[in-house]
Amino acid sequence: MSLTIIDLNDTNIRVGKDAQILLNSPGYAVIKDDKIAFGAHAAKLNRIYPRNTHNDYWYRFSQDAIQSTSNQIRHNADLAYMQLAEIYEQTGESSKWLIAVPASFNQEQLALLLGLLKAANYEDVQLIDSALLASVNSLNKGEQLHLDIQLHQSVLTSMETDDKHRVITSNVLPEVGLLDIYEQCAKFISNEFINQSRFDPHHNAESEQLLFENIPICLSKLTTSSMSKLDLEYQGNSYSTNITREAVMEILSPIYDSFYKRIEGSKQLLLSHRFRMLPGFLDGLNNARLLDEFAVFTSANNYSTLLQNTDLNANYLSELPVIEVTEQFTSPNTEERQATDITHILIGNTAYKLDEKNCYIASNNKIEASLGSNTQYSIQPNDGHYSIQAENNSQVLLNNVMINDKQLLRLGDNIKTAGIEASSTLIKVP
C-alpha cells in the first residue's frame, strides 16, 4: 500500500512519496482572463497582477463570500478545492493520503478540508497535526515547543512525551508571517537599489516581481555570509546592490523579537526548517534545534505501518505512540545507500567529482566555482549526502518534476534545466 504525504503549509505545499518530493505548490492563485493559475506559476505573477492575486485563501479558509474577478470563485474554499484538485491531478492516485495540517485549523476548517478532499477524489485520507509529525522523531521526555511559519501567521505548538507523543496546546501568532518578512525586506532593498543604482524596483510591476523573487535567495545567502550582492535584469539593463546581513537583521529585529517573546524561557524548542532562511534568527536563541526540511516525510515513513494498517478511529491525529525509529544510521537501508553512494555528476560525456564544496552548474552546463548570475542550480554536500537547489529562479527539473526548494539527491537522479536539451545524472564511480 502506498502512502502519499501532503505538507499543507501555504508557504509551499509539498507532496512526497517514498522519500521523494513529487510536487511543490505555494499557496498562491492568480485569476486572469477566466483562467486560474496556482502554485509556483501564480507566485511568479502575483506582483504583476496584484488585484487578481489571492494568497490568503488557506489563511482565511472558509465558505464566507469573497470578492473575486471570476464567477467560478465564491469563497476561499473554492480556491483551496481547485488547488487540491490540481495537486491530485499532477501527483496521481494513492491508496492512502496523509495530510499534515497546521494547528491553526479549527474544527470547522478541518471538517471543511475533509469535504474538499473527498470532492477532489482523495480516498482514504488521514489528517495529522503537522507540528507533531515534523517533530516526532526529535521529541524527548517532557514538554517541548514547535514553531512554524506560514504566509500570514505563525503557529507555536506545545507537545508532551511520556508513553505517547501528544499535542497539548497551540497558539497562533497573527500577522507574523513570511509575507510580512518579505515586505519589510522589499522596502529596504528597494531603497538600497535607489541609493546604489538609482533604480526603483517598485516603479514597475515586472521589476517589483523580480525583486520579490530574489528576496528568498538574498536571505538564504545572508545566513552564511555577511553580504549578498543582488542583481536584477530589467528591460535589457542590469542593476546591482549590496545587502548586508547586519542591515537585514536590524530591519527584521521587531519581527524576530515578537517570536523571541513568545518562546522566552522554553527549555526545548524545535524550529521548522522554514526558519533556516532567516539570517541571524538562530543567534537570538540558545535552546533551539532546527528540524530537517524532510522531517515531515521521514516521520511519516517511520510511522507508515501504523498509519496504513491500523484503524485509528480519528480523522485528525494529535498524538502518536512512542516507537523505536529504525536503525537507519547504523544499518542504512537501500534508499540511504543510494543517497550516500553518489560520487560524480555526469554532464554530457564528462563525469565531474563531487566533494565537500558546493558545486554550481551554469546555463551552459559548465561547472562554476561560485554562485553567479548564470548559475542554474547548485549541488550542496551535507554529512555524506548531496542536495540540489535551484538558483536565480531557474526552472530546474529533478526526475521531470520542477523543484522550488532544496531536495535530497539519490543515485541515478536525472536533472534538467529549462531551455537546455542535455541532462545531468548522479552516478557512482568506483
Q: Mind giving me the DSSP string for 73-141? A: -SBHHHHHHHHHHHHHHHH---SEEEEEE-TT--HHHHHHHHHHHHHTT--SEEEEEHHHHHHGGG--S
Residue 171: inside a domain, yes or no? no
What 8-state DSSP symbol labels residue 292? P
Residue 203: which domain range? 177-291
CA–CA dist 403, 194 (Å, integer): 32
Which domain CATH number covers 205? 3.90.640.10
Please give the average per-residue pLDDT across 166-172, as a whole number: 95
- Provide the pLDDT for residue 333: 35
Q: Are both 256 and 359 inside the same structural domain?
A: no
> Strands of 269-271's sheet, edge to edge?
288-290, 269-271, 142-149, 153-161, 164-174, 319-321
Residue 61: inside a domain, yes or no? yes
Q: Are both 354 and 373 inside the same structural domain?
A: yes
- Provide the pLDDT for residue 326: 40
Residue 80: inside a domain, yes or no? yes
Kindly indicate the confidence band of residue 62, based on its pLDDT and cuts at 50, 70 and 90. Answer: very high
User: Which of 41-50, 97-106, 413-422 has the lowest average pLDDT?
Assistant: 413-422
Residue 148: inside a domain, yes or no? no
CA–CA dist 43, 26 (Å, integer): 7
Residue 147: inside a domain, yes or no? no
User: Which of 276-280, 351-355, 369-373, 400-404 has the lowest average pLDDT?
Assistant: 400-404
pLDDT tens across 83-96, in order? 999 999 988 888 89
- The cell numbers describing 401, all together, are 518534476
- Provide the pLDDT for residue 330: 24
Residue 261: inside a domain, yes or no? yes
CA–CA dist 321, 164 (Å, integer): 4
- Provide the pLDDT for residue 339: 54
* pLDDT cut 90: percent of the chain above it: 52
Q: Are both 286 and 300 inside the same structural domain?
A: no
- Is it the case that residue 58 has pLDDT exceeding 70? yes
Q: Are both 34 and 132 inside the same structural domain?
A: yes
Domains: count for the chain: 3
Q: Kindly provide the residue ranges of all beta strands, DSSP E only, lying in 256-402, ordered along the sequence.
A: 269-271, 288-290, 316-317, 319-321, 344-347, 350-353, 359-362, 367-368, 375-382, 385-390, 396-398, 401-402
Q: Are both 315 and 340 inside the same structural domain?
A: no
Q: Are both 241 and 298 inside the same structural domain?
A: no
DSSP string, 230-278: EEEEETTEEEEEEEEHHHHHHHHHHHHHHHHHHHTT-S-EEE-GGGGGS
Residue 149: inside a domain, yes or no? no
Please write down the long-range contacts of 312-315, taking CB distance under 8 Å and 24 or more positions apart.
Answer: 312/126, 315/110, 315/114, 315/126, 315/127
User: Which of 162-166, 250-254, 332-336 has the lowest average pLDDT?
Assistant: 332-336
Task: Identify whether the C-beta of residue 170 lies closer than 8 Å to the C-beta of residue 183.
Answer: no
In a 3-state reduction of DSSP, which class is residue 294? coil
Beta strand 29-32 with 53-54 is antiparallel
For the CA atoms of 173, 171, 273, 302, what is the dihedral angle to 10 degrees? -160
Residue 100: inside a domain, yes or no? yes
pLDDT tens across 295-308, in order? 999 999 889 888 87
Which domain CATH number covers 412? 2.60.200.20
Q: Which of 330, 352, 332 is nearest to 343 (CA)?
A: 352
Please identify which residue in the block is written with the cell numbers 528597494: 190
Q: Are both 65 and 120 inside the same structural domain?
A: yes
Q: Are both 287 and 242 inside the same structural domain?
A: yes
Higher-confidence residue: 430 or 115?
115
Which residues lie below 8 Å from residue 182, measured CB to CB, with a gap of 6+?
212, 215, 216
Q: Are both 76 and 117 inside the same structural domain?
A: yes
Average pLDDT of the chain is 87
Higher-confidence residue: 271 or 424?
271
pLDDT tens across 331-352, in order? 223 334 455 678 889 887 788 8
Q: Are both 250 and 211 inside the same structural domain?
A: yes
- Is it the case that residue 152 has pLDDT exceeding 80? yes
Which residues lie below 8 Å from residue 271, measured CB to CB, with a gap of 6+?
146, 147, 282, 285, 288, 289, 290, 291
Q: Which of 108, 161, 154 is nearest to 130 (CA)?
A: 154
Q: Are both 7 and 126 inside the same structural domain?
A: yes
Q: Are both 196 and 114 inside the same structural domain?
A: no
